[in-house]
Chains A and B, each alone.
Chain A
């Protein structure tokens, strides 16, 4: 079983739609959780951290459910520029804070 699992998609949505991505992780000892965004042939860029209390940044909302080992990302009012691959990332097993484990990513395509 992969340490971090995501639906690869693609998710095809029209502009203005609300879309949600899910992610599960296998290591119950994981302490840090993140969503990264990766554009085609580019490096990943941090979108937001994920906390148990949930956090919101503009149109983006992230949630963490430690009991279910489940992370979500909600994007409201989708823009064309949101088209990208969204990577779920957790810190790795027995490695403390530094080592990150990436999911394969969920691809989002926003159309006019």
Chain B
């Protein structure tokens, strides 16, 4: 079945560091990928929609200059948290949709998530 790989799974770094998270679709092409953030005991919140070959679409309240998204190929999207601070500590999850097969009962395939801790 379709698999989405996310890397790294865990990051601990100092305040002010920039952190890059990769999201790869392993056996399908994904023109669209999604980046979510989840704080403890809260729901997944969509941050942005990543479109291959074009600019990402950010949700209201998400700073595009802080959360840089690059979707340079049909199988890879990256999220860079620039100058991270402790309030950016969260669980970041990507997902991708197999646009070719468009399986309605599997709307999106999720990566394993990245737990980011900023000290």
**Interface residue ranges, A against B (CB under 8 Å):** 4, 8, 32, 34, 41-46, 49, 87, 91-92, 97-105
Contact = CB atoms under 8 A, between A and B. Distances in A.
Contacts of A32: 104, 107
Contacts of A98: 32, 34, 49, 97, 107-108
Nearest to B105: A49
B118 interface: no
A43 B104 contact: no
Contacts, number: 53
Contacts of B34: 98-100
Contact of A43 (B105, B106, B107, B112): B112
B91 interface: yes
Interface of B: 32, 34, 36, 41-46, 49, 91, 93, 97, 104-108, 110-113, 115
Nearest to A51: B105
B43 A42 contact: no
B32 A42 contact: no
25 contacts: A4-B43, A34-B107, A42-B112, A43-B110, A43-B111, A44-B93, A44-B110, A46-B105, A49-B105, A87-B44, A97-B104, A98-B32, A98-B34, A98-B97, A98-B107, A98-B108, A99-B46, A100-B108, A101-B46, A102-B36, A102-B43, A102-B45, A103-B43, A104-B42, A104-B43
A64 to B, nearest CB: 14
A107 to B, nearest CB: 9
A44 B45 CA distance: 13
Contacts of A45: 110
Given A98-B34, A102-B36, 5 more contacts: A43-B93, A98-B32, A100-B34, A102-B43, A104-B43
A87 B44 CA distance: 9
Contacts of A46: 105-107
